[in-house]
Amino acid sequence: MTEQPPLQPPQPSQPPAPSGDESEHTTPLWYGQTQAQPQYQAYPPASAQSPAEPHPTAPLQPGVEPAQPARTRRWIELVAVAVLAALLASAGTYALTRGDGGGVTATLGRTDVSSPPPVVQANPAAPNWAVTAAVVSPSVVAITVASGQGGGQGSGVIFDTRGDIVTNNHVVTGGGQDSKLTVTLNDKRTFDATVVGTDPSSDLAVIKLANAPTDLKAIALGDANALRVGDPVMAVGNPLGLAGTVTTGIVSALNRPVTTSAQTSPDQFGQQPAGDPVVTNAVQTSAAINPGNSGGALVNGGGQLVGINSAIAQLGGAGVSSSQSGNIGIGFAIPVNEARGVANQLITTGKARHAFLGVSSKDDFVPQGSAKRAAAVITAVASGAPADKAGLKVGDAIIAVDGDPVDGALSLVAQVREHTPGDKVTLKILNGGQTRDITVTLTDRPATNP
């Protein structure tokens, strides 16, 4: 290799010149259905290995350098700026990773504030997925569930540094009662885990590592409300037992109401009790998702979690052979904002509270000017419920919640369920061709109301 001549400090008389630029009907399918599990080869938990070398006990704070002579420091700063500018101009082929791990140091659950992105992409529209995958993969785990009644595999996301893992309820309950949970980290260390809490209504659960190591890397939390249709995203998980698999795609749709039956643990006789329907205001993605991706991460180019992968669509309906199940380019994820709220509640109290509006509705079309539009038309209002107190009446058509369109009864349920008790929401009502806004304060959902 030819030795390059040493760099010379820029001359004061010649400052650098500034630069400037610039089908068919589909139905959701849960990954964790126990009857489908025998089709997939069991994923054996990886044997424990020695932990990776610990990080230095007293690292420098991000951006802090050792003291240097003033002139030398100034020269280094100028060179660093020039190099960074050149890299950022290289058509999106470089991503600057944060040295502080994205600032994720939560120890008691997580706040409702998004974490800084651990990856800064040169071109967010064309991310360097290799860098994002390297940063995110250590925060995604493979989960194995085993018991005498069945078993299965799934994925999970490291929620905090105490060992709390967020996953899907149907992953945790897929093996029935007395299941044994094992969690395999990205570096192949395997740990036993116990259930902290489950929430069948949202299909979310939290499990906790036994003897959690001190070097866990919690995932950076993003904001699903900031997503736009067409944004690039990446799914990370354990499809078909292939741990650490990453696939990429785009956000295909937002606020997509998806419903399935909630899964609960089989009883002592192996019978599956009927559960409340799971209704999710989902993020739809084209990123390839397959059985085993359940509970895994959907992240943006910056490496922030924007959803928990939970369901896929299949052609035809429930009668289609499970051997034909798999990715057809339509996957669904629970928005991170909902997942974060439920996870914090499960960690704190072991159970989750859900919002309640207090109406029954049906799908219908209502006149609006010279056209019609789909809406959730109220058929009943519970006495004393938030809707009743706000003045909603039978026949009112709800067409939006906080500006997000509502095109039917399922859409309304999904919009309400992504909120928490105490939230104030603005409903746009259409009746007699006239629209009006009504503010409603949601309360706790009664136990008798799904």
Among 255, 229, 252, 257, smallest CA distance to 330 is for 252
Q: Buried (b) or exposed (e) across 39-61, using 16+ Cβ within 10 A?
A: ebeebebbeeeeeeeeeeeeeee
| Contact call for residues 436 and 392 (beta carbons, < 8 A) | no
Q: How far is CA 314 from CA 99, 204, 330, 357, in A?
A: 41, 22, 8, 32
C-alpha distances in angstroms, 3 versus 7, 9, 40?
12, 18, 55
| Catalytic annotation present for 203 | yes
Q: Positive or negative CA dihedral for 104, 110, 116, 120?
A: positive
Rounding to the nearest 10 degrees, give the CA dihedral for residues 226, 228, 233, 239.
100
Q: Do residues 141 and 264 lie in contact, with contact meaning Cβ atoms separated by under 8 Å?
A: no
Q: What share of the chain is helix, strand, coil (3-state, %, to 5)?
A: 20, 35, 45
- Closest of 111, 122, 114, 119 to residue 137, by C-alpha: 119
In the set 164, 203, 231, 396, the catalytic residue is 203
Is 170 one of the catalytic residues?
A: yes
Per DSSP, the three-state class of 76 is helix
Q: What is the DSSP letter of 211?
A: T
Q: Determine which one of 170, 199, 361, 411 is catalytic.
A: 170
Q: If we measure between CA atoms, which residue out of 436, 445, 447 comes closest to residue 391?
A: 436
* Residues forming beta bridges with residue 444, ordered by sequence position: 355
| Token reading at 221 | 């939390």
Catalytic residue among 294, 325, 361, 411: 294
> Hey, which residues are catalytic here?
170, 203, 294
